[in-house]
Structure formats: C-alpha cells, structure tokens
Structure 1
Amino acid sequence: MKQNWGKTVYYKQNHFVFKLAISILLVGFGFRLLFSQSSNVNPNVTDDNITITAPVVDKPIPSDLVESTNEFIQFQPKDDGSEKCNVFDGEWLPHSGGPAYTNNTCRWIESHQNCMGNGRPDTGYIYWKWSPKACELPRFDAKKFLEMMRDKSWAFVGDSITRNHLQSFLCLLSQVEDAVELYHDKDYKNRKWHFPSYNLTVSVMWSPFLAKADIFEDIDGVSSSEIQLHLDVLDKTWTEQFHTWDYVLFSSGKWFIKTAIYYENNSILGCHGCEGKNYTDLGFNFAYRKILKNLFDFIMNSNTKSTVIYRTSTPDHFENGSWSTGGSCDRTIPAKEGDFELSDLNRLLREIELPEISKAEEHASEKGMKLKLLDVTPLSLVRPDGHPGPYRHFYPFAKDKNAKVQYDCLHWCLPGPIDSWNDLLMNLVVNG
C-alpha cells in the first residue's frame, strides 16, 4: 500500500491544474459567446459582479487506499486557500546561509548525531531551508524566543527522536545563552536545563510509549523479553510533572512497532508480533490509537493552561535493508517529491495520528485549551540526506574504507534538517 501524503500532494496538484484548465476553457467560451452576439453589445461595458466558476471536482481516491479509513481521509491536513498558510506544505530550497550552530558551537549534541564531528565528508545537507509554498517561514529566532519564554517551562516527552529534536532546540537557544544542566538520571534519558537570564527551564522525558511500559532492552537495543505495555495507564514519569509545564511537546510512534504484550486492568489483553504465544495479535495500530485517546483524554481533563503540541512520527530512509539487516542511507541531497514513500508501518502510524489529533484539537478549542499539531512528516520524508548513516560512529572508515558498519537512517544529524522542525515550532507558538 502506498504512502498517503505523497499521493495527496500529487492529486492536489492535478486537481489544481484541472480546475485551471476548465476555468480557461470556460472564460474562452464566454468571450466567444459574448462577441458572437449582436453588434448592440457595448465593448466598453464591464460587469465586475460576473464570475465564472469552474465545477467542483472531487479528489480521486487511489485504488490502493480503499482500505484506509474514511476517518483518516476526513482529517487530512487541509490547504484550501481559505485559511492561513499551511506551513507544512512546501519544498526544500538551497540556502547559502547555513545552520545557526555547528558541532563546535553547541555542546549538547550527542555523539551519535554529531555527523560533522564523526567525520562526515559532505556538508551540502546543511544548506537547505524549508519553504512553505504560500508564505514565508522565518528561521528560528533564539533571542526573540527566549524573551517570549521568560519565567516559562518547556518539556519534550517521547522517544529518542524526541530527544534528538530537543537537542536541536537547545543548540539554537544556546547561541544566545548557553543552557545550564540542572539534572540528569543515570542513563541521561531524563534531563533538565535552565537559561538563567530568562528563567526558562527545558526538560526532556524519555517515555517512548507515553504509557506505562516495562522494557527489557540493553544499550544496543537488544531485547531479552517482550515489552509489557499497559494501554490504560499513562507513564507517571511525565504525568506527575505535567501540571508544572507551560509548554509540552509529545511525540511517539516508532516503539509501537516492537513486539509487545498488551495489558489492560493488569490483565493480558493481547499482543503485537508475539509469535508462539497463545495471545490475540491486536496489532500495534490498536495500541497506538488507544494510548493516544488516553493521552488526549488526560490532557482535556487536566484543566491545564499549558500549550500542548503533538509532533507526528517521522520516516526513516533505510535502503537495501533495515536497521538490523544492512540497510543504508548514502544520499547527499534532498529527494524529489515522490522518490520516497512512507513504509506501510509509518503510513499506519500517520493514519492513527491525524484523526486523533484533529479530534483532540476540536475538543480543546471547545474548552478554551491550546492543543496544536506539529506535522513534520512531509518535510522529513524528502530528506534522506539528513541522517547520520555510518557517521553515527566516530570516523567509521578511518582504518578500512570498506568497513561494514551499522547505519543510522532514523535519527538526524545536528545541525541538519531537524532544525527546521524548530522553525515550525516557533511559528506555532508565535502565530498559532
């Protein structure tokens, strides 16, 4: 099954061209009809109230998406020109200015994402800027942002890609004032920083499922047992602190693909990918939808004045294999639209996220609460050049140019395309 976003753009473009052609034909026909009438028609008389409207043509639904839910189609992000600019609909354009920071000017980059420091030889991937089609998207203004966030608190809650995003956020802000770390746990997964001149605190909370989960993985991601995931209990790591934050960004998705046993009311409900077990395989999409519903119910019932942002899951760009089977990502420039399509797994995640977030946004609006969508999937899909690849390791080919090393085509180089997520984030906070 094909990825829906790429097709949405494709049919949107065809739909526009078709409407334009119809309009031109009708205008031409109208003029021909007018000038074919009697010579009594005054050529200098015009009627500004006369409009020629092309017939409305519905977007065709691709045959391979028939199985997709009507709910997903209903909640696709819309850009019909009647509302403000859709900053998530755009293209990557060359940008000679380069990034706002480097690995030498930011000390918060983890080694696995330090592509420059690990010897990546090309630098073209940092000279691109996301440009919406119908408006301008300013770059992240760290000074302005810090001034806006005086005496505020931020939290990023999610998985390692969330942490990746947080590091970009810190690097951008630290070009104005370097952050002071206040806390970290023994694995550096939960951390907290402070910007003293602005009394801004920023936290990152590692909660890959957003719900209670017993995980049995070592530092290399090797699991000794299935994940025990409680679908009806949110992770107290973040719920106990939620009321203290002014801004919270949630994101999840990737971990749901892993093998897991699902619990509800402390009883086994089913599983995902648990071959050989006598449990009903409910599928990861069942668990992701249920937890998102619980997340948004929790937010709606919290009476919080916080601004809550949900970031969509992001695609990987493994080619010729996967993370564990020799997949690679050696591209050095953005892909053309349509070159990459979301995998079936990522497409399913998106089909769950968009409807659930849209319904939650509507509910939040009714209650006077602030809930916003940060849809980074479209712009991330066409950046296969932005991953560490073999340069998650320090100079991987220094001793042997043909060395076989594991590629990281999931996380993002810092600096890199992920910095544009914060351009979009600031736009949401300032203009949303």
Structure 2
Amino acid sequence: MMKKNNAFGSCDMKTMINCSLIIFSFGALATFSYYRINFQELAIFTFKLTPTITITTNAQSNLNSSEFVHQIEDRRIEDHHIEQTGSCDLFSGKWVHDNESRYPLYKEHECPYLEDTFACQTYGRKNTKYLHWKWQPHGCNLPRFDGRAIVEKLRGKRLLFVGDSLNRNQWNSMVCMLQPSISGVKLAGKTLDGKLHTFRATDYNISVDFYWAPMLVESNGDSPTDHNRKDRVFRITAIQKHARHWVDADVLIFNSYHWWRKTVIKLVKDVGSVLDGADQMFEEVDNVHAYKMGLETWSNWASTRLDLSKTKLFFMGATATHSRAADWRGNNQSTCYGEVEPVMDNEFRENEMGLELISILESSLSKLKAKGVNVQFLNITRLTQYRKDAHTSVYRKIWRPLTELQKSRPERASDCSHWCLPGVPDTWNELLLASILQ
C-alpha cells in the first residue's frame, strides 16, 4: 500500500512539473505579447532611437515556446547594445521607397498655410513619386511621426526658425505637419515688415514662427522682399536688431549658409552708415573669413543673452543644391529639372558644397559647447544630396517674368535650392522633433 502511494506520488509529481512548465511557457508568451503590444503603442508617443523588433508569423509557427522566448531575448540584447553604444547615427542612411503608405505626412491641398513657393503640385508637377520616399538610418529607425502626441508635448512652447528661405521652407513644412492635429483656433500672419511669419494654436498656446535673417547679422539682405543685390554688405558685429525678437523662444532653430557663398563680401566700416549708401565706407574680405566672423558674433550673443536653462538651440546643416547634373553623371548642361528619382549611389558627393564653410560652422558649434552652450547640429547635408528629384524646379509661383531663354530652356529657370512640400523638409522636421523631445 505504501509502495503504491509512493508510485502514485511520484507520478503525480511528474505531472505537476510538466504542467507547471507548460503553464510557465504559455505565461511567458502571454506576458511578452502583452508588453510587446503595449510597447508598440507607447512607441508612437515617444521618441527613442531603439530599433523596432520585428517578429514574423512564420517564425513563430516554427518555434516551440522556449525557443521563441530565447530568440526574443537575444534580439533584445542586440538592440539594447545598439542603443547603449550610440552606434546609430540618424543622419547616416539611405532613401528607400515607402511601402507602408506612411509618406507623405500630409497632403498639399489640405494645408491652407502652404506657400506658393513650395506648392509643386498646385503649379503643375504631375510626377508624385518624390512624395513616397522615407529616410532610413543605418542601424535603427527614424522615430515615427505622431502629430497629436507632438502637439501635446509642445503645449505652451514657442518654436522659432531663424535664417534664410530654406529655413522658411522648413518652417512651412512644420506648420503643415502639425496643423491637422491641432483643434480650436489657429492664426497665421506676418509682422515686423514681413520679417516674422507666425503660426499660433491658441488652445494649446503653441507658436511656430519664422524670422527672416539670412546672415543672422545685419546685412543688405534683411528685407524679405527686396534682397537681390549684386554685392553682399554686412555689419558683421551687429546682431541685436534681429536677436531681440528671438530671446523668448523655447526652441531656436538657426540656419545660415547659402548666402555666404559669394566669394567677396563687403563689411561696413562706419557702424552708423546706411547699408548700401552712396558714400558708404567698407572693406572687402573673402567669404570664408566673413562667415567665421559672423558666426563669432552669433556665438557671443548665444552664450551671453540666452537663458540656456529654458531655450534649446539647434543649427541646421547646409542643404544641397542640384544645379549641375554632371555631379550625378547627368547632362553637363542640365540641372534638377525633370529629375524624378533620388541618387542611389551611396558614394555620391555634390561638388558644389563648400566644405570649408561647413567646417567653420562645426568648429564654431564645438567652441560653444566647450563654453557650456549646447547647440545641437542637425547634419542634413548628406541626406539632401541624394534628393535631386525633390526640388521645386519650375513648379512654383514665378515672381519675375521669365526671359526668352528661360522659356525655351526651362532648366535655366529651375529652382534647385528649395524643396517641394510635402517633401524632404518634412524629414528634417522629423529629425528635429526627435531631438527636441528625446
């Protein structure tokens, strides 16, 4: 009898152990599935650089529960390593066609604030493939854009873009990206003689603004409507006239590059004289030296006049201009006109980019960082170099009558500096928002 009870107890114990193992395995699967689903939902509202874990149905069906859990844990370890070592550079990657129907992030006709300068479809562009490319960093994924979550996080904030028309291009993109997720009263307009473009979401107390200051310092290009001058003339140490309108921003996004590419720049000697005045005294310097001086003026202002506990600072990298098709092995006489595909050559480098000016910018930001002023550099140069297909070209409002030569050869009238919206600047803003909200 005792023997029978021992045998029965032994059998019962094995059964219990087996059942426990089965229950544990299914419990682990259920727990993982629960957290995986909730993590995916949470990822929409956060901006972490952790790569997405992808599990296919076939892989699940070919694994028993124990093997499945071990494989997931291995992937977690690998992904954790990527995040911790910081090996993912969001600015190093490639453009891939969007198969998820994620892009464009908005539709041209649904953004009432879109400027004619960037409205390519309105002005005749038929090819729309340029709308459906996404930037894929090497080693991780660009955080998914969620307008509602971002609007909530930006409550009570003022974002201010400062610079030239490429920064206005980016500002216009940001407004179009956010406005569908904003309920209530929305206001837009211009002040300060057209220098300041404003967008207000009153229910959220959000401001997204742009201030025209292409050189950051005072120059004869300060008029937003009358700045096409033969010579560039600056007050290289004068910035406060503009900067007093910037100091209350929570996020400042600067750019200043393209206007400095003229070989010779004139610096006004008499601080009180009128820019471009008839009896003006100035000295001529090369653009490299002038750019360095201008950034020094801006750096001194940033380090002494801003409340760095409140304000986040960003500086956008130079963007590509595709005015010479020979750069991508195209027709020597052609430009971005008629281009419908990105450059797919990973080794492509645009010859026109002034590496010396870019180096000066990076050096200036490094010196600021050494002083405790953290300016995040958004290095978008490489990702724009590939996108010869995404410029406004001839598909924009023409502000000046075309010459007969431009009419006969539209490539001569093509704008290969600015970008269609929706388009490439939306990616700049995804990268910017990832940095703001991290």
| Deviation (angstroms), 1:419 | 0.7
Counterpart secondary structure, 1:202: strand
| Deviation (angstroms), 1:420 | 0.4
Single out whichever of 348-357 and 108-117 deviates more from structure 2: 348-357
Single out whichever of 84-93 and 341-350 deviates more from structure 2: 341-350
Tell me the distance in 2 between the aligned counterparts of 1:298 and 1:240: 10
Single out whichever of 325-334 and 277-286 deviates more from structure 2: 277-286
- Verify the 8 A CA contact 1:150 1:198 in the aligned structure 2: yes
Counterpart secondary structure, 2:417: coil
Q: What are structure 2's unaligned runs of at least 5 residues?
A: 1-81, 274-279, 328-332
Q: Deviations over 1:97-129 (max 9, x none)?
A: 121111111112211211111111111111111
Given the superposition, is the C-alpha separation of residues 321 and 159 from structure 1 closer, same or farther in structure 2, using an over 3 Å criterion? farther
Query: Which has the higher Rg, Structure 1 or Structure 2?
Result: 2
| Deviation (angstroms), 1:329 | 3.1
Name 2:300's counterpart in structure 1.
297
Tell me the distance in 2 between the aligned counterparts of 1:317 and 1:105: 28
Q: Deviations over 1:36-85 (max 9, x none)?
A: xxxxxxxxxxxxxxxxxxxxxxxxxxxxxxxxxxxxxxxxxxx9994352
Tell me the amino acid that sits aligned with residue 433 of structure 2: M
Single out whichever of 146-155 and 297-306 deviates more from structure 2: 297-306
Name 2:342's counterpart in structure 1.
334
What's the C-alpha RMSD, in Å, of the aligned pairs? 3.4
Tell me the distance in 2 between the aligned counterparts of 1:171 and 1:199: 17
- Verify the 8 A CA contact 2:188 2:199 in the aligned structure 1: yes
Counterpart secondary structure, 1:229: strand
Matched ranges for 1:51-130 at <5 A: 82-83=85-86, 85-96=88-99, 97=101, 98-130=103-135
Tell me the distance in 1 between the aligned counterparts of 2:228 and 2:313: 33
Match of 2:220 among 214, 226, 244: 214
What TM-score, normalized to structure 2? 0.69
Tell me the amino acid that sits aligned with residue 230 of structure 1: R
| Deviation (angstroms), 1:190 | 1.7
Count of residue pairs the alignment pairs up: 334
Q: Deviations over 1:335-387 (max 9, x none)?
A: 023564233553232122222222323433xxxx5421111111111111110
Matched ranges for 1:267-416 at <5 A: 281-304=284-307, 305-319=310-324, 327-337=335-345, 340-344=348-352, 346-364=354-372, 369-393=373-397, 403-405=408-410, 406-416=413-423
Tell me the distance in 2 between the aligned counterparts of 1:404 and 1:109: 28
- Verify the 8 A CA contact 2:195 2:224 in the aligned structure 1: no
| Deviation (angstroms), 1:321 | 9.4
Counterpart secondary structure, 1:168: helix
Q: Deviations over 1:185-233 (max 9, x none)?
A: 386442112112211012110000000112398958642x533201111
Tell me the distance in 2 between the aligned counterparts of 1:354 and 1:388: 28
Tell me the distance in 2 between the aligned counterparts of 1:321 and 1:110: 31
Q: Deviations over 1:9-52 (max 9, x none)?
A: xxxxxxxxxxxxxxxxxxxxxxxxxxxxxxxxxxxxxxxxxxxx
- Verify the 8 A CA contact 2:214 2:222 in the aligned structure 1: no
Q: Deviations over 1:114-166 (max 9, x none)?
A: 11111111111111111110111123321111111111111100000000000
Match of 1:256 among 255, 260, 267: 260
Tell me the distance in 2 between the aligned counterparts of 1:203 and 1:99: 23
Tell me the amino acid that sits aligned with residue 424 of structure 2: P
- Verify the 8 A CA contact 2:368 2:375 in the aligned structure 1: yes
Given the superposition, is the C-alpha separation of residues 153 and 222 from structure 1 closer, same or farther in structure 2, using an over 3 Å criterion? closer
Tell me the distance in 2 between the aligned counterparts of 1:166 and 1:283: 30
- Verify the 8 A CA contact 2:90 2:137 in the aligned structure 1: yes
Q: What are structure 1's unaligned runs of at least 5 residues?
A: 1-78, 269-276
Name 1:47's counterpart in structure 2.
none
Q: Which runs of 4+ in 1 moved over 6 A?
A: 277-280
Q: Name the structure where helix makes up a greater proportion of residues.
A: 2
Tell me the distance in 1 between the aligned counterparts of 2:409 and 2:196: 32
